[in-house]
Structure 1
């Protein structure tokens, strides 16, 4: 970061101080997401925002080695108490928080003291991969579906609503809560497409508009923070954990992606299967090919594999299919008449324990590799693969995704595309943090694991 850029950042921050003060803001939250998927933060009083924008806010690099329980690994490139990083807020996403009176919010990029992007900053990584796509004349639109289980304040999960799955009764039970959530998201500029009850006890979901990948990850972080704040204001508690109780389905973190060249959606209007263009099909093929290793960032918790089981709409098999909710990659055309804009793929095998920046970075790396190699897309699958015999799945080339975090980490370390995209430092840290969690929960029951992570995400 050059001196002139630092000065420009300070001037930009000074320019918004008056409006923020008029809105009652007294402090600015500066969040990032660590390797284990936990949102961490520092904050500055409003008057210090120009200094934070210019020089950053200090943080220890030790956070790269944090586990889900706040213990710290002694990793090859993470977990050291030595050194310092700087958190620089992205003022283009500066948002006055509607559900936290007196506070604003701005996601950060992590730099060294010399102004160089930190090699383990997931947000900077994602921006680099977006720029690499742009150099090839391509872009991606992305959006996260955010699922959460709404409970009472006890440590044990007691659902805050008792109506049936997807039931109108649930909406009535949380009518005031849902109203306040929608109002807060709207005030913060989040374009919500849907809010509805989900399948599991106390479970809700909100879907938002697609954006460029960095903005989509920022929005996912903001939406979850807003849900947490509104829940607390209503005397409730929100869990985004991939598994809230051992005997129920968990929270997914499904990602929708579409590949574009200028104004052309490459997921539609082509001569390939279901209207895919050649590049659109190769992008999907790249996702499928790299899914086993991608789970190390997309399903990054031991608890993730309690959720990722067949016949639970979690996408436990590395297949794709048209509107197939048991496929790891579901192809969505959208309604007739809107397909040029609406066609996309939904990656279903990932969950809400993931760092959204790392996950999208992995998905872009995988899809881009497919496009560059012209990877052929396998035949779509139009049934639940679990209904086939093992022999029939084998004959059809249908493979199960990893069934444990250890298997996913091993697949990640074998994946040259993903490890090269992340770089040696970050790729090593991802593997070491995952193995740290494996050791943390070694020998624990499903009930023990779900209780330990229930309120961490």
Structure 2
């Protein structure tokens, strides 16, 4: 038995000992649409697969399925890849009475090399590159913003509370506190220890702040937490939605990411080095955007004055109206990302841009912005180096990604071309729907 195989089996047996009621294993990977694609396996069969190092096959075409399970234009129905369980990600699913385990997968080619189309595999490769080549590691902490809604018989959604405002618990909110606290208890039950949680600004909106972790673990935790929130909400007859902008006169719903770049002891006290990572993000933000803002409605948050990051690629100390809010010398908050993004792909694009910045030693420009740069005149922005206006449509950001060869090189041509092809096919379908139908379609899924 190899060391990796022995470790996986030991981890799995320890997990089963702590969760003896497990009957089924959900072996999953996450599509470009941020939907979990699942192989459901009886626990005895899954245990045997771990013992024999057997990986479950899946069709390559699954990466290219668009609404209606139609293949994206120009893609092939042929091919197979393998789902390799990451036992360290296993947890007992909330609401399953202890009978279901969920395990994330690494996607492999049949020769056991990483599958290029897989964002999770690419994220791990890029973080390994950052550690080995640059001597830095990254920690990521996500904030989950979510709006809780009631659905009527016609499929229309209304928030659970209108008398609702940032950081307060109103008289209407008190009626839902048991539900909110049930979510927090369930998160603790799946191993997610929140930093804190509070009411947010839009009707029915709450925020749950996750602890920092390595990029893969942070993305795994985010998906686990979202699933748990959704399941507990359903038990209460409530829909939890990540839809980015429900009301034009209210702030939107994001998935802010706190990112710290940490010296592993090779650089001494040189704060300018982590700054090059974040300079890479600013310089390549247009290429990152289709990975962090993946739908047309996502761009309703790319505007000034709504606490979502604004319209320019820039940074500012503790400024909540810029793309990168600087919190510490080596830590920034990325405010643009929303909950419709695949977190593995989003973080992979961020690491790709950061690696470009580090490799080129880019100095940090485009800040410090003390106010929203949209309120500055051209001369004021130029003096700070704020010269990149962000794409305000998905079409423009996809084009920016394709044109940015430095970021594409790190993500790989195959991953980028696959993602862009699928997104354009999905866009074509969703744009045939009326505004109301498209909103309902998205809110029923996200």
Normalised TM-score (structure 1): 0.88
Q: Which residue of 2 aligns with 1:418?
A: 407
Q: Which moved more, 1:343-352 or 1:66-75?
A: 66-75
How far is the alpha carbon of 1:263 from its aligned partner?
6.6
Change (3 A) 1:25 1:153: farther
Contact 2:201 2:250 in 1 (8 A): no
Q: Which residue of 2 aligns with 1:285?
A: 279
How far is the alpha carbon of 1:391 from its aligned partner?
6.6
How many positions carry a matched residue from both structures? Answer: 435
Matches within 5 A, 1:231-250: 231-245=233-247, 248-250=250-252
Match of 1:141 among 139, 142, 145: 139
Change (3 A) 1:162 1:70: farther
Contact 1:13 1:49 in 2 (8 A): no
Asked if 1:300 is matched to 2:294, the reply is yes
How far is the alpha carbon of 1:138 from its aligned partner?
1.0
Say which SS state the counterpart of residue 55 (structure 1) adopts. coil
Normalised TM-score (structure 2): 0.90
Q: Which residue of 2 aligns with 1:349?
A: 336
Say which SS state the counterpart of residue 353 (structure 2) adopts. helix
Q: Distance in 2 between matches of 1:18 and 1:320?
A: 46
Change (3 A) 1:160 1:138: same
Q: Which moved more, 1:50-59 or 1:218-227?
A: 50-59
Matches within 5 A, 1:258-273: 258-262=260-264
How far is the alpha carbon of 1:445 from its aligned partner?
5.7
Q: Distance in 2 between matches of 1:62 and 1:243?
A: 32
Contact 1:330 1:348 in 2 (8 A): yes
Q: Distance in 1 between matches of 2:33 and 2:319?
A: 30
Change (3 A) 1:363 1:69: farther
Q: Distance in 1 between matches of 2:210 and 2:299?
A: 26
Q: Which moved more, 1:79-88 or 1:375-384?
A: 79-88
Q: Which residue of 2 aligns with 1:369?
A: 356
Contact 1:366 1:418 in 2 (8 A): yes
CA deviation profile, 1:392-412 (whole Å, cap 9, x unmatched): 546653432100001101110
Q: Distance in 2 between matches of 1:42 and 1:226?
A: 19
Change (3 A) 1:412 1:191: same
Q: Which moved more, 1:301-310 or 1:436-445?
A: 436-445
Match of 1:81 among 77, 82, 90: 77
Contact 1:157 1:245 in 2 (8 A): no
CA deviation profile, 1:286-318 (whole Å, cap 9, x unmatched): 110111000011101111112222211111321
Match of 2:419 among 413, 420, 430: 430
Asked if 1:383 is matched to 2:383, the reply is no
Q: Which moved more, 1:426-435 or 1:11-20?
A: 11-20
List runs of 5+ in structure 2 lacking aligned partners. none
Asked if 1:28 is matched to 2:30, the reply is no
Matches within 5 A, 1:58-73: 58-67=57-66, 70-73=69-72
List runs of 5+ in structure 1 lacking aligned partners. 271-276, 334-338
Q: Distance in 2 between matches of 1:137 and 1:11?
A: 31
Q: Which residue of 1 aligns with 2:34?
A: 37
Contact 1:20 1:96 in 2 (8 A): no
What's the RMSD between the two structures over aligned residues?
2.5
Q: Which moved more, 1:135-144 or 1:30-39?
A: 30-39
Q: Which moved more, 1:12-21 or 1:395-404?
A: 12-21
Change (3 A) 1:208 1:426: same
Matches within 5 A, 1:178-197: 178-197=180-199
Contact 2:19 2:92 in 1 (8 A): no
Contact 1:56 1:88 in 2 (8 A): yes
Q: Distance in 2 between matches of 1:255 and 1:70?
A: 31
